[in-house]
Structure 1
Amino acid sequence: MVAAEVIAALKSRQAAFLIIRLLELTGYLYPPPAKLKNGDNYDYIIVGGGAAGSVIATRLAQQKYNVLLLEAGQDAPYESTYPSLMSYLKHTKSDWNYTSENDKHSYQCHPDKNAQITVGKMLGGSSALNHMVYSRGHPQNYEDWYWITNDTNWKWKNVLPYFIKSEAIHDSGILNSTQSECFFGTEGYIGVTRNENPFTDQFLQGFEQVGKHLINIIDGSELGYSRGLLTIYDQRRQDAGSQYLQHVTDSKYLAVAKGTLATRIKFDKNRTATGVEVITEENETIVINARQEIIVTAGAIKSPQLLMLSGLGPKNDIRKFGIPLIADLPVGNNFLDHIGVFIPHKTNKTLVKVETDPSKYPTGLFVGYAALNETRAQHLTFPDYEAMGLVFNNLDYLVQFCVSDNNFSDAPCNKLYDEANGNQVLVTLISSLYTESRGQVQLRSTNPRDPPKIFTGAFSDDRDLDDFVKYVNDYLIVENSAAFKALGASMVDLTKPKCDGFKKGSREYWRCYILCMMVSLQHYGGTCAMGSVVDSRLRVYGVNKLRVADASVMPTLVTGNINAAVVMIAERAAALIIEDAGAYNDVEHEQIKQDQIKNLP
């Protein structure tokens, strides 16, 4: 009954926030809505006002190009600005509310045995409704991109300046480190702070007691555990939409069309992208023309859908829907996501009554990166898995996180509430950072309003499942620590009776557990990958004047949360676009001192 009551209360509050939206309390952060006319012309049209689109639009407008930013949603609402209200955005008009296709294999403890695909539908996109965890990824991720693209510009030392340009680190542990001067930014638009919740420290002691390192810099580049870094500053979420676009709210060079759905990219006989067909907020279908380029930044699901509707994609799929083929490309293939396994521990620590503060992150948060082969890993500092721990001091929010955020059925979430018995709960999400499984995004129809088919491909390669078994067992070693024993921390099995047929702790049991208690971490990418759909300058193969610049171009996912990497890609894309237009670009001239570059991986 608890889950039903919590969700009813959640929906009631969401209805209240819907009324508050009418006041447009966040409107000052964004440019006013533009009114479009058929045949309007702009230098650049950017399709999708999420994190990447907001960054690129801002940078091009600052260079005095005439830019149109198309966004299907509206301004990010009031509740997006406060960290503790992040759950209230899901399953609303600010969320595309996708679900994956049922593969009869994964997500076995979810109501319809499929994944809830949460994607932001507003300015700022998913950066305005994610869990705000900040991670750049491991340097080796970008070395891998270099090998895939054969372009040294994607090497770690060459993408690092774009991270530095975008971020404003506000953490003394990082800023006082010897690496601070050359590795971290303090003047970018995205503020970053460390989780302040003290309840994590007692658990971190446990990892240290079983031989894990406690570290200051937790961005995937070093093995160990720490309080997590968050895109929160001055008590507000630092989403890319508000943090970038507020710098060009009054710019005469930027127009932002809200509530406007891009339906097709138009090409001339030379396969040059010339314009975008859209459905306006007034439900009028018109075409807007681009003098220079069209940049698609609609994310790992909408970007491939738009390309396929425009005739770019696997030829058999395109022709099946009667769409004229422009270029035969593997658009929609290589769908990637980080999968987390939900590991809850109840404790004997009584809940501490704290005043509710919407500006505070709602839980304690630690993040850890671990490797099974410590000898190899200490040389490469290369993690196999991530552990993200959330310490809950509010059991109603715990149930909300279980049912609404992660889409589990009511029964396991009710059991978790009962087992907690009024005490603190630690929920850890174990995630493999490198998987063999791949999914696919396909057209459902030629109607651009229809959601595409999303096949997650989760655990379609059996090796991934066995890897997860190893990672979960490695993580659970922490139960032997004095700190965890002092807390009375014991794992709560929420799979009953699903996995009762297997000996608890066996390989078969854990395989069943993982397929039952898996969740999407909402790190979607790969569907317009560099090397297969776009080149290393993010230009779509086989056509002219069309780029894609969002998470879909990642050939492999970076370690940890992907939001920082998406902003980096967008900063780099803006530099490429400006460079190709023949304009001076200060980013290309930003250099790390040569003696520091030599020390980079």
Structure 2
Amino acid sequence: MQLLQGLQSIVKKFVSDGQTFDFVIIGGGSAGCVLANRLTEIHNWTVLMIEAGDYPSYASESAGISVLTSPALSNWDFYTTENKISHKEQKHGDVHLLEGKMLGGSSSNNYMYYVRGNAEDYNEWSRIGNKGWDWQNVLTYFKKSEGLRDTTILDSNSGSLHNTDGYLGVTRYIWDDGASQMLESFAESGHKILDDLNGHEQIGYGFPQFTIDSGIRQSSAVSFIKPIKDRQNLYILRKSVARRILFDDENNAIGVEIKNDIGKIIRVNANKEVILSAGSIKSPQLLMLSGVGPKNHLDERGIHIIYDSPEVGANLQDHKLVPLLLTGEKSGFSIFKNFKALNNLDKFPEINLMGFVALNKNQTYPDYQVTAFPFSTGSLYTTLMCTEVFKWNDEVCMAIADSSAQDIFYALIVLLHPKSKGVIRLKSNNADDQPIIDLGYFSNAADIETLANCIEDYLKVSNTTYFRNIKSILVDLNVKHCEGMTFASHEYWRCYSVAMAASQFHPAGTCAMGPNGVVDDRLRVHGVNRLRIVDASIMPTMTSGNINAPVIMIAEKASDFIKFDHGITE
């Protein structure tokens, strides 16, 4: 419990109605905690961070336990609208989005993958008008935060891409017991095997890196707040929900209206800036509640217009995924024999391989991501992931449970660059109402064909020597919406992609950066003053992989913008 006690000591500073700070940060998640750390480096600046949730629980701290309990950890309990195109095999016809509601945000309940994305992701941001966001520029900020604990990578030719003394501990686990057989299978099917998935080459398979250090989850609360908990210029309000941003007559953001932990509405003031770091769902909601958003929509909700910003809440992107299961003879996955998850709760509790694959082999950025787990006979993980994480319906989950009578190679196939876009809109002008979330899956039909092609490309591994030797069979999940189609045909995979699509919980893009977006390339909100957005919502396009590391990078870069704009040039 040392972590919880350490964090508790921060919040003994009383925050009163009408109190003034230099900076007010809305959201204590991945970005907010980084900002709070970096801005309080300037000792004469006072910084308030407002977090709707509480401390992360003890379960959240443990690298192993937190994965097992992830769906039960504190979250916003967001549900999307029903989608007439997809989600057909979801239990309730919609998607439950697991977004962390605690100090550290989603970094306190995610699967801890440290994935920077592909160099081309950031070069594309730069090409569409965001100066200074190319790969070489953002690499500086990835390195700034990183504390890598892997001598093999550090001694390799990609060692120069990494750092050892940043706040964010990063670990790579090598599962030796038979893991090479799995990787060799991917090599046999034409893929490169990489020691460093965040290295110079970013297309291939290998062991993932995790935000874990000494057995402790490196949430942004642990990594960026715990070390600076005694700074006297840092204030944190827990269990306090921002309701709207306050503006003066000249469109300057001057404060925030909050409902505090006892339900009282109070106001706090910002001398220099308000920084919105509430995430890709809450940030556009708060902007619109505050009068910055599409005029017609705000008029419908009876909200006074501060600035007509049509792109607020638009451009919602998410990484959609589908599961694929390959069986093996009993004890076929010898990789598992000497690894007992319940005895390794200071580590990621399951053997895990990751891959990034381009359908066009001359392409330098990936089309899909593979996260794969070899589960031994009788493992409950496959069923738990079905029922508690991705929430497919009972028929699908029963088919998955039945398959666990054999060893299972369980893979999640993730479409990395969807063309489909969704939208966030207000249900009402009441800040207590959840927003309307339309993920827009497959609203662009090109995503159907691309995901079907990704599935077929991945399944080439089933024809390799190792998988043939263990008599591997592709599991039929009895997807009722695809009945009557030839199993594993291209037509079937098109149907399967739409019916089985679930979220990897990576919403992004709803306050996109760009000349015609919501924020400029220094993350200042167009049309108003003294207001920035710093979180995944500013991404103009999705990065190639899990988004926690990019969000931390964004916050590191934004911190330097803010310091420079207020006269700090060191």
Does the pair score TM above 0.5? yes
Q: What secondary structure is seen at the aligned counterpart in 1 of 2:270?
A: strand
4+ runs deviating over 4 angstroms: 87-93
Structure 2 Cα separation of the partners of residues 196 and 449 of structure 1: 46
- Asked if the contact 2:158/2:196 (under 8 Å) is kept, the reply is no
Equivalent in the alignment of 2:175 = 197
Superposition deviation, residue 170 in structure 1? 1.3
Give the alignment of 1:38-53 within 5 angstroms: 38-53=17-32
- Asked if the contact 1:265/1:306 (under 8 Å) is kept, the reply is yes
Query: Residue 168 in 1 paired to residue 147 in 2?
Result: yes
Query: Residue 130 in 1 paired to residue 115 in 2?
Result: no
| Most deviating of 527-536 and 487-496 | 487-496
Structure 2 Cα separation of the partners of residues 428 and 142 of structure 1: 27
Structure 1 Cα separation of the partners of residues 218 and 506 of structure 2: 18
Query: Residue 505 in 1 paired to residue 503 in 2?
Result: no
Structure 2 Cα separation of the partners of residues 40 and 562 of structure 1: 34
| Residues 1:90 and 1:355: Cα distance change in structure 2 (over 3 Å) | closer
Give the alignment of 1:473-484 within 5 angstroms: 473-484=456-467
What do residues 413-467 of structure 1 show as CA deviations (whole Å, max 9, x unaligned)?
Answer: 222222221x332211111222210000111112212111100011110001001
What do residues 292-349 of structure 1 show as CA deviations (whole Å, max 9, x unaligned)?
Answer: 0000000000101110100011111111111100111111000011111111112114
Structure 2 Cα separation of the partners of residues 473 and 258 of structure 1: 47
Superposition deviation, residue 487 in structure 1? 2.7
Task: Give the gaps of 5 or more residues in structure 2.
Answer: none
Equivalent in the alignment of 1:410 = 394
| Residues 1:355 and 1:91: Cα distance change in structure 2 (over 3 Å) | closer
Q: What secondary structure is seen at the aligned counterpart in 2 of 1:149?
A: coil
Q: What secondary structure is seen at the aligned counterpart in 2 of 1:26?
A: helix
Q: Structure 1 residue aligned with 2:382, among 398, 410, 414?
A: 398
Q: Identity of counterpart residues, as a percentage?
A: 37
Superposition deviation, residue 204 in structure 1? 1.3
Structure 2 Cα separation of the partners of residues 93 and 562 of structure 1: 19
What do residues 148-185 of structure 1 show as CA deviations (whole Å, max 9, x unaligned)?
Answer: 2341x11111111100010111123311112313x111
Give the alignment of 1:154-553 within 5 angstroms: 154-181=133-160, 183-198=161-176, 200-219=179-198, 221-329=201-309, 330-350=311-331, 352=337, 354=340, 356=342, 357-374=344-361, 376-377=362-363, 381-393=364-376, 395-421=379-405, 423-531=406-514, 532-553=517-538
Structure 2 Cα separation of the partners of residues 27 and 120 of structure 1: 21
Superposition deviation, residue 382 in structure 1? 2.1
Structure 2 Cα separation of the partners of residues 355 and 400 of structure 1: 15
Amino acid at match of 1:339: K
- Asked if the contact 1:107/1:516 (under 8 Å) is kept, the reply is yes
TM-score, normalised by the number of residues in structure 1? 0.90
Q: Structure 1 residue aligned with 2:549, among 564, 570, 576?
A: 564
Superposition deviation, residue 398 in structure 1? 2.2
Superposition deviation, residue 352 in structure 1? 3.4
Equivalent in the alignment of 2:87 = 107
Superposition deviation, residue 88 in structure 1? 5.5
| Most deviating of 106-115 and 89-98 | 89-98
Structure 1 Cα separation of the partners of residues 316 and 173 of structure 2: 31
Q: What secondary structure is seen at the aligned counterpart in 2 of 1:206?
A: helix
Structure 2 Cα separation of the partners of residues 177 and 222 of structure 1: 15
Structure 2 Cα separation of the partners of residues 91 and 484 of structure 1: 32
Structure 2 Cα separation of the partners of residues 113 and 488 of structure 1: 35
- Asked if the contact 1:85/1:358 (under 8 Å) is kept, the reply is yes
| Most deviating of 195-204 and 318-327 | 195-204
Amino acid at match of 2:171: T
Structure 1 Cα separation of the partners of residues 505 and 411 of structure 2: 16
Equivalent in the alignment of 1:85 = 65
Q: What secondary structure is seen at the aligned counterpart in 2 of 1:277?
A: strand
| Residues 1:163 and 1:194: Cα distance change in structure 2 (over 3 Å) | same
- Asked if the contact 2:399/2:478 (under 8 Å) is kept, the reply is no
Structure 2 Cα separation of the partners of residues 37 and 236 of structure 1: 34
Q: What secondary structure is seen at the aligned counterpart in 2 of 1:491?
A: coil
> What is the RMSD computed on CA atoms of the aligned residues?
1.7
Structure 2 Cα separation of the partners of residues 312 and 355 of structure 1: 48
Amino acid at match of 2:348: Y
| Residues 1:52 and 1:371: Cα distance change in structure 2 (over 3 Å) | same
- Asked if the contact 2:479/2:496 (under 8 Å) is kept, the reply is no
Superposition deviation, residue 83 in structure 1? 2.0
Q: What secondary structure is seen at the aligned counterpart in 2 of 1:483?
A: helix
Superposition deviation, residue 27 in structure 1? 3.1
Amino acid at match of 2:18: G
Structure 2 Cα separation of the partners of residues 265 and 560 of structure 1: 32
Amino acid at match of 1:287: R
Structure 2 Cα separation of the partners of residues 307 and 555 of structure 1: 17
Amino acid at match of 2:488: G
- Asked if the contact 1:225/1:368 (under 8 Å) is kept, the reply is yes
- Asked if the contact 2:71/2:389 (under 8 Å) is kept, the reply is no
- Asked if the contact 2:130/2:513 (under 8 Å) is kept, the reply is no
What do residues 52-109 of structure 1 show as CA deviations (whole Å, max 9, x unaligned)?
Answer: 0000001011112100000000111101111222345555461101111001221111
Equivalent in the alignment of 1:599 = none
- Asked if the contact 2:399/2:476 (under 8 Å) is kept, the reply is no
Structure 2 Cα separation of the partners of residues 122 and 474 of structure 1: 39
Structure 2 Cα separation of the partners of residues 91 and 37 of structure 1: 34
| Residues 1:34 and 1:522: Cα distance change in structure 2 (over 3 Å) | farther
Task: Give the gaps of 5 or more residues in structure 1.
Answer: 1-22, 586-601
Q: What secondary structure is seen at the aligned counterpart in 1 of 2:481?
A: coil
Structure 1 Cα separation of the partners of residues 455 and 212 of structure 2: 30
- Asked if the contact 1:337/1:520 (under 8 Å) is kept, the reply is yes
Q: What secondary structure is seen at the aligned counterpart in 2 of 1:76?
A: coil
Aligned length: 556
What do residues 267-309 of structure 1 show as CA deviations (whole Å, max 9, x unaligned)?
Answer: 0000000000000001110110000000000000010111010
Superposition deviation, residue 25 in structure 1? 6.1
TM-score, normalised by the number of residues in structure 2? 0.94
| Residues 1:89 and 1:123: Cα distance change in structure 2 (over 3 Å) | farther
- Asked if the contact 2:415/2:451 (under 8 Å) is kept, the reply is yes
Equivalent in the alignment of 2:46 = 66
